[in-house]
Amino acid sequence: MSLIGEIHYFRIPVISLEESVRWYTECLGFHLRRQNKDLAVFELKEGPLLVLVKADTNSRGHLIIDGKPEFSVGFTCQEIHKFRQELIDQNVEVDEMVEEDGHYYFHFYDPSKNKLQVHW
């Protein structure tokens, strides 16, 4: 049995911390727990904390597989269709909705071009 109990937080690199904090609070509605000049910590209703870290311009928080970005952080949302439309209305870069056996998901990008996923 592992001595590790849970995942406490995920870190995502961002180019502009101030712009990203504003986007994650205003666009996604996340609760800002604390912030300093180098990072911002967000709490969600459940699960690990999300930490935005000011990083180099070419840093991203997603994987590259076969030359294409793949998300590394996924969120859940019961009202996924409504959420997608809200992102579109806020001019967020959003991919098409995908449905697989009653499971819906789509990808979207934050201001630093980190690829994220939401599913339900």
User: How do residues 30-79 score in pLDDT, each as one tens digit?
Assistant: 999 999 999 999 999 999 999 999 999 999 998 999 999 999 999 999 99
Average pLDDT for the chain = 96
pLDDT category at 1 given cuts 50, 70, 90 is confident
Closest by Cα among 56, 29, 53 to 41:
53
Residue found by looking up tokens 């995502």 in the block: 12
- Show the beta-strand stretches assigned E in 1-120: 9-14, 31-35, 39-43, 49-54, 63-65, 68-70, 74-76, 98-100, 103-109, 115-119
The pLDDT value recorded for residue 113 is 95
- Residue matched to tokens 């699960």: 47
| Rounded Cα distance, 15 and 26, in Å | 18
- Looking at residue 81, its pLDDT comes to 97
